[in-house]
């Protein structure tokens, strides 16, 4: 018996079709009496199967195969002389001698052609078992209710059972075999809401890491594409899509502890539906995983027509749903532990186009290949690739799956892929060529350096130094590089293809960029990317940001200044005063002060704790003036449920925008997990939240005395959030809104939690009609660290101007 397993997903209902291998009336006798059976009707049986039988039985090509040869006679004779009537049975599947059988330990050659039948009147199935010599040993009738009835059996046990459809498996009949039945995760239309609220299992937040691989085994992968897949992804995109999926699958199998490499050794595509050899299998009955399905068709076709293709695993990419029932569909199925067996059976079928998410597509293929290599379903965590249903979080093979696949890895049928290349030195410090200044770049990699890339470019876009992904760097390697530069503007960018930065879930990596004593940018938990633009002046001073001006313009001086003031009011007690006899006092004061320069860089911290559906959440931090994205995290980025992602970046003075979105529209708190987020600047909290619906965010200032936003519009009931951080030394502030339509209300307060939805009150809430309101400096009793500003739309408005100033 061959074991296969299926992967399910929620998909639109596909109407059931009648198996095309079965005559439309399911009636072999065509109304004739049993003793008047004519030649068998071979309609629907693929020609390559019939030709195999014709060859075996010496029948001329194209002619009918005698009924007796196909098992369509009315009785079966056993070695003990007993006959069993098969009246009313119609053949539904026929296999050549190349079919696989199961001897309790492994698949072996089936010694004789094998017939599977089903009873036409009630859907019962007949299971025919043969011994290793090809003699029929038993026939059992499997009823639709799951019970089975023995039609006849030889007393001595048989060692070999013919391959049968998995639906017909009978626990009693096959109890002496250690096997796993097919798992159907039959999720309903409301699966998403049903699953939400279920207590979460603890999930592993770290990728599974074992000892680094000292030897790899190569999996030679053959890929076939059928016409409905071409139609789904677009004919012109097929090659690129397949290459992308295979590359991602290879990355899944190269993780430490698994030690496989994946090489695509054969690729064929059949985009013309009129000449697609797999079309009959696709059209059979939408099954794919059962006895009359695409998986078995794919196997039989390749075992006959692709014998010359050397491969370890073969996968079919399809654009058609499998076994759809009540809104749920099987999206993939494969034979388990089928690699490295005497008779090739390592096949899988993948309904790749069930989603457009490239991560989920590659995970599906990795999942089915995992079955071929011996891994069963692992329901212990949704993070595991072998989880029974596919999702964007299925990123890693569990220790259990890795152990199961070790059996295949140790088989001699898989070629050695060689010893992995030696890692580069732990530190690289090249001697810099001559230059006016040095940019010192240090990157301390995490456990996945192949995901990290970075570059330093000048104002013309020329790359001065860089590192690409998959550059062969060992885990935890520290890279030090000094880049000589002249005065000018430069941009440093660091990216992580997985979206988790270089810290802190999978290693404690970090990076820093310094020019002299100035740290231009530093961090680790930066999500997808972090970038900074900076200018180095001829005198060595550094300005961080995009509005620094030409290098001939020096930054503001940081020197000691002397000021002379004349006043008609008495001076402070510490001032030297000269008084004349006149009635008006004139005071001349000479004051020497040391001005503390404003910082050239500020640190923005973002912390996001995800709910139970992290694949729905995305966020970004952007520079409002340039539109550049400084930090971000996309949806479907592989973050675990309940995981906290902390990111930080150094920024120059300016205005910035943080925005967070939830694609499902329920925020990250509080129905399906206790998620939250927080943004701060140099430790000053700007905004916190969690229960925000579809989106939330805040526009905030950093190191600038003015916040000025124009062309603001808002629908009735909307709330927009702003945060004004007065520079050090601020003694008074004021805010105002100005508009000529609608009714916008200004809410302003100091040192009150700026949670989503705005404050219900504040230090200043004018609450007057129209859209012109202001809060003067005198209305604030104290000046705090952060001025929270929100605009509430009592009625819709457009073209509004918001201005906040400090002095």
Tell me, what's the pLDDT at 366?
A: 92
Residue 74 pairs with which residues in a beta bridge? Answer: none
Please provide the CATH number assigned to the domain covering 705-806. Answer: 2.60.120.380
Q: What is the mean pLDDT of residues 726-745?
A: 85
More confident residue, 54 or 570: 54
Residue 263 pairs with which residues in a beta bridge? Answer: 220
Range with lowest mean pLDDT among 294-298, 376-380, 412-416, 754-758: 754-758
Q: Is 135 helix (H, G, I), strand (E, B) or coil?
A: coil
More confident residue, 763 or 387: 387
Range with lowest mean pLDDT among 323-332, 408-417, 546-555: 546-555
- Nearest of 122, 112, 117 to residue 75 by alpha carbon: 117
Q: Could you count the other beta carbons within 10 Å of the beta carbon of residue 524?
A: 22
Q: What is the mean pLDDT of residues 187-205?
A: 23
Residue 208 pLDDT > 50, yes or no?
Answer: no
Range with lowest mean pLDDT among 43-57, 130-144, 206-220, 768-782: 43-57
Tell me, what's the pLDDT at 443?
A: 92
pLDDT in tens, 381-435: 777 888 887 665 667 888 888 888 876 666 656 766 644 444 444 444 344 334 5
Tell me, what's the pLDDT at 278?
A: 87
Residue ranges of the chain assigned to CATH 2.60.120.380: 705-806
Cα separation, 493 vs 510, whole angstroms: 14
Residue 236 pLDDT > 60, yes or no?
Answer: yes
pLDDT category, 225, cuts 50, 70, 90? very high
pLDDT in tens, 113-159: 344 444 444 555 555 555 545 555 556 555 555 455 555 555 433 32
Tell me the residue ranges of DSSP E strands in 424-575: 437-444, 452-458, 463-467, 478-485, 488-496, 503-504, 507-508, 510-515, 518-523, 529-536, 542-544, 560-567
Q: Which residue is catalytic, options 93, 120, 368, 773?
A: 368
- How many helices and strands in the chain, by DSSP H and E? 8, 48
| Long-range contacts, stretch 416-419, CB < 8 angstroms, 24+ apart | 416/215, 416/216, 416/217, 416/218, 417/216, 417/217, 417/218, 417/261, 418/216, 419/214, 419/215, 419/216
The reported pTM is 0.34
Q: What is the mean pLDDT of residues 320-333?
A: 73
Residue 441 pLDDT > 90, yes or no?
Answer: yes
Non-local CB neighbours of 312 within 8 Å, separated by 6+ positions: 218, 219, 220, 221, 339, 340, 346, 413, 414
Out of 3.90.78.10, 3.90.1750.10, 3.40.390.10, 3.40.50.1950, the CATH code matching 191-197+209-418 is: 3.40.390.10
Q: Which of 18-27, 182-191, 267-276, 408-417 has the highest mean pLDDT?
A: 267-276
Range with lowest mean pLDDT among 126-130, 210-214, 542-546: 210-214
Non-local CB neighbours of 308 within 8 Å, separated by 6+ positions: none
Q: What is the mean pLDDT of residues 344-366?
A: 87
pLDDT category, 600, cuts 50, 70, 90? low
Residue 547 pLDDT > 90, yes or no?
Answer: no
Tell me, what's the pLDDT at 336?
A: 83
Strands 602-609 and 676-681 turn out to be: antiparallel
520, with CB counted inside 10 A (0-12, 13-18, 19+), is buried
Tell me, what's the pLDDT at 435?
A: 57
Residue 265 pLDDT > 50, yes or no?
Answer: yes
Cα separation, 381 vs 637, whole angstroms: 17
Residue ranges of the chain assigned to CATH 3.40.390.10: 191-197+209-418
The helix-helix angle for 238-253 and 358-372 (nearest 10°) equals 60
How far is the first Cα of the chain from the last one, in angstroms, to the nearest whole number?
Answer: 83
Q: Could you confirm whether 220 is annotated as catalytic?
A: no
State yes or no: 310 annotated in a binding site: no
pLDDT category, 229, cuts 50, 70, 90? very high
The class level of CATH for 434-550 reads mainly beta
One-character DSSP codes across 186-240 = ---TTHHHHHTTSPPPP---S----SPPSSEEEEEEEEEE-HHHHHHH-GGGHHH
pLDDT category, 365, cuts 50, 70, 90? very high
pLDDT in tens, 694-724: 899 999 999 888 888 888 999 998 889 898 8
Mean predicted lDDT score pLDDT of the chain: 68
Residue 88 pLDDT > 50, yes or no?
Answer: no
- The tokens for 670 are 């509080």
Tell me, what's the pLDDT at 626?
A: 78
Tell me, what's the pLDDT at 763?
A: 72
More confident residue, 737 or 323: 737
More confident residue, 252 or 125: 252
- Nearest of 713, 735, 712 to residue 723 by alpha carbon: 735
Cα separation, 2 vs 300, whole angstroms: 13
State yes or no: 109 annotated in a binding site: no
State yes or no: 266 annotated in a binding site: no
DSSP structure class, residue 99:
-
- Nearest of 222, 314, 212 to residue 263 by alpha carbon: 222
């Amino acid at each position: 018996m061959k074991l296969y397993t299926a992967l399910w997903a929620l998909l639109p209902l596909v109407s059931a079709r009648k198996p095309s291998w079965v005559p439309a009336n399911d009636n072999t006798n065509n109304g004739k009496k049993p003793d008047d059976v004519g030649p068998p009707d071979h309609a629907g049986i693929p020609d390559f199967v019939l030709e195999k039988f014709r060859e075996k039985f010496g029948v001329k090509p194209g002619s009918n195969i005698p009924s007796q040869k196909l098992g369509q006679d009315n009785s079966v004779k056993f070695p003990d002389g007993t006959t069993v009537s098969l009246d009313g049975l119609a053949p539904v599947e026929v296999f050549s001698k190349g079919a696989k059988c199961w001897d309790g330990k492994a698949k072996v050659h089936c010694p004789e052609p094998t017939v599977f039948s089903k009873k036409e009147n009630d859907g019962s199935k007949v299971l025919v078992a043969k011994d290793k010599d090809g003699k029929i040993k038993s026939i059992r009738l499997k009823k639709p209710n799951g019970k089975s009835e023995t039609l006849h059996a030889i007393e001595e046990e048989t060692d070999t059972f013919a391959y049968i459809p998995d639906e017909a498996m009978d626990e009693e009949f096959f109890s002496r075999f250690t096997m796993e039945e097919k798992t159907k995760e039959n999720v309903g239309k409301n699966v998403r809401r049903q699953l939400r609220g279920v207590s979460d299992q603890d999930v592993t937040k770290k990728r599974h890491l074992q000892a680094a691989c000292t030897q790899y085994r190569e999996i030679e992968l053959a890929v076939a594409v059928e016409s409905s897949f071409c139609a789904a992804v677009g004919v012109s995109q097929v090659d690129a899509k397949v290459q992308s999926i295979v590359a991602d699958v290879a990355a899944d199998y190269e993780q430490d502890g698994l030690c496989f490499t994946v090489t695509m050794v054969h690729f064929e595509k059949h985009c013309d539906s009129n000449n697609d050899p797999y079309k009959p299998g696709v059209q059979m009955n939408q099954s794919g995983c059962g006895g009359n399905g695409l998986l078995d068709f794919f196997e039989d076709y390749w075992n006959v027509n692709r014998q010359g293709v050397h491969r370890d695993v073969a996968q079919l990419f399809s654009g058609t749903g499998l076994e759809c029932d009540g809104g749920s569909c099987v999206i993939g199925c494969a034979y388990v532990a089928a690699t490295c067996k005497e008779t090739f059976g390592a096949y899988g079928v993948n309904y790749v186009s069930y989603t457009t998410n490239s991560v989920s597509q590659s995970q599906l293929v990795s999942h089915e290949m995992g079955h071929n290599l011996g891994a069963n379903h692992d329901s212990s965590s949704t993070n595991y690739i072998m989880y029974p249903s596919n999702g964007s979080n299925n990123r890693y093979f569990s220790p259990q799956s890795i152990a199961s696949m070790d059996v295949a890895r140790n088989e001699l049928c898989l070629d050695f892929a060689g010893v992995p290349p030696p890692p580069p030195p732990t530190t690289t410090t090249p001697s810099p060529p001559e230059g006016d200044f040095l940019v010192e770049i240090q990157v301390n990699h995490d456990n996945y350096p192949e995901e990290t890339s970075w570059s330093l470019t000048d104002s013309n876009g020329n790359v001065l130094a860089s590192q690409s992904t998959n550059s062969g760097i060992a885990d935890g390697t520290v890279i030090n590089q000094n880049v000589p530069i002249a005065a000018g503007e430069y941009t440093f960018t660091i990216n992580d293809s997985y979206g988790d930065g270089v810290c802190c879930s999978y290693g404690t990596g970090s990076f820093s960029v310094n020019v002299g004593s100035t740290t231009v940018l530093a961090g680790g938990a930066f999500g997808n990317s972090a970038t900074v633009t900076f200018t180095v002046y001829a005198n060595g001073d550094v300005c961080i940001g995009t509005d620094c001006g030409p290098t001939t313009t020096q930054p503001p001086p940081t020197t000691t200044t002397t000021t002379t003031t004349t006043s008609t009011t008495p001076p402070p007690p510490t001032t030297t005063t000269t008084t004349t006899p006149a009635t008006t006092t004139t005071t001349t004061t000479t004051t020497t002060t040391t001005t503390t320069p404003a910082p050239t860089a500020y640190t923005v911290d973002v912390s996001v704790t995800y709910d139970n559906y992290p694949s729905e959440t995305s966020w970004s931090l952007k520079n409002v003036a340039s539109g550049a994205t400084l930090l971000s995290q996309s949806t479907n980025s592989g973050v675990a449920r309940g995981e906290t992602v902390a990111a930080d970046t150094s920024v120059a003075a300016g205005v910035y925008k943080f925005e967070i979105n939830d694609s499902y529209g329920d925020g990250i708190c509080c129905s399906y997990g206790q998620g939250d987020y927080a943004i701060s600047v140099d430790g000053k909290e700007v905004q916190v939240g969690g229960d925000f619906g579809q989106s939330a965010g805040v526009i905030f200032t950093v190191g600038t005395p003015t916040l000025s936003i124009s062309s603001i519009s808002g629908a009735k009931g909307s709330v927009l959030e702003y945060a004004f951080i007065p520079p050090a030394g601020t003694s008074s502030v004021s805010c105002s809104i100005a508009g000529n339509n609608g009714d916008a209300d200004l809410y302003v307060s100091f040192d009150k939690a700026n949670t989503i939805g705005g404050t219900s009150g504040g230090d200043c809430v004018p609450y007057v009609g129209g859209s012109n309101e202001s809060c003067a400096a005198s209305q604030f009793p104290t000046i705090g660290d952060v001025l929270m500003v929100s605009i509430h739309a009592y009625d819709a408005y457009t073209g509004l101007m918001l201005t906040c100033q400090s002095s």
